[in-house]
Structure 1
């Protein structure tokens, strides 16, 4: 399948779980299409960018290794995404990568996700957290930053400060994620000091 063929095919993707899963399975069955999906995702002004993001997210959640050969492209361009519907899957992919790297300690993820790429994730996640984004993007960013903060010591302090500053004016979903992240940070701090 060529870029233009895949681009045309994305016209049939919608919000339904069935459609996203169907197209994600196409990618999983033919991993060489992942690079094309990512290219379309980074056509940031295009209406099909979010659709590419949805299937990239679904495929990544199903099999993290699908994104690993494309981490350089993904991490160097993820900060360019601005459409809400495309930014949510990009931030979710970052969360999946952080969990795979730090919590699951997936050997393939750990061998593929470089320090500079993790630093790019930190920068983007903080940008998404402090700018006017939907709560899902902020929640995924908080989780990513929590895990990244287990490597980069300064992150947890800055993350807690931002969560505290925004807590009173934020939604219930944001507050719930803040409580979870704060509890994780306190648990880790207590464990380190015992």
Structure 2
């Protein structure tokens, strides 16, 4: 199976209904060599099929196993900053949040071994870009969680994130305001435990 086959399956997919995403995800999981093509199509950022590829990549990472993205972390983290379509940014922001959650999980997992400082730096840098540019609520929510978690490792992140939430995000939609307040509370609790 080739990238052409996968592209055709993505184009046939239509809308992001659960059954459509599950069908294409199952095709990819039945032939795991297609995962590298899925990542490549996700970052073909001028092609609208990249949106559907991002949906499937996120579906696999969320509903099957996050480990499938691990061999492709270099490509994923190097290219997330180049995403253009809102509908591709949202699933990639969710994958970033999954990676952060796994990295800080109390359970042992492969993400802790494979996610390098270079990968984390790319996710953090892109996350701040997503927070200062016009993005959908979901992207902001996933990104605030991701940055909060990586701020547990990098002390400069929390003050920057707090400033952005207080000066920009808290004045946006109700959803952004609620998530922003939640993250501010987490930052405050963390600061108290580290004093």
Q: TM-score range by the shorter chain?
A: over 0.9
Q: In terms of mean alpha carbon deviation, does 99-108 or 73-82 score higher?
A: 99-108
2:7 match: 7
Instruction: Measure, in 1, the Cα distance between the counterparts of 2:192 and 2:165.
Output: 20
- 1:102 equivalent in alignment to 2:104: yes
CA distance in 2, matches of 1:187, 1:105: 22
Distance in structure 2 (CA, Å) of the matches to 1:87 and 1:96: 14
Alignment of 1:17-32 (within 5 A): 17-32=18-33
Deviations 1:164-190 (A, max 9, x none): 011453001101111211111112112
The answer on 1:183 being equivalent to 2:185 is yes
- Segments of 5+ residues of structure 1 without an aligned counterpart are none
- Give CA deviations for 1:55-80 in whole Å, capped at 9, x if unaligned: 00010112110100000010111110
Q: CA deviation at 1:132?
A: 1.0
Instruction: Give how far 1:104 is off.
Output: 4.6
Aligned equivalents of 2:133, 2:67: Cα separation in 1: 30
**Does the 8 Å contact 2:147/2:157 carry over to 1?**
yes
- Tell me if structure 1 keeps the 8 A contact 2:9–2:24: no
2:146 aligns with one of 128, 133, 144: 144
Task: Give per-residue Cα distances to partners, 1:32-83, cap 9 Å, x unaligned.
Answer: 2111001101110111010000000010112110100000010111110010
User: Take 2:106 and 2:85, find their aligned partners in 1: how far apart are those partners?
Assistant: 30
Q: CA deviation at 1:106?
A: 4.0
Q: Is the 8 A contact 2:170 2:181 kept in 1?
A: no
Distance 1:140 1:91 in 2: 6
Give the ranges of 4+ consecutive aligned residues of structure 1 lying more than 4 Å apart after TM superposition: none
Give aligned pairs, total: 193
Contact 1:75 1:120 in 2 (8 A): yes
Superposed displacement of residue 105, structure 1: 4.9
Moved more, 68-77 or 6-15: 6-15
CA distance in 1, matches of 2:139, 2:170: 18
Which SS does the other structure have where 1:67 is aligned? helix
Aligned position for 1:90:
92
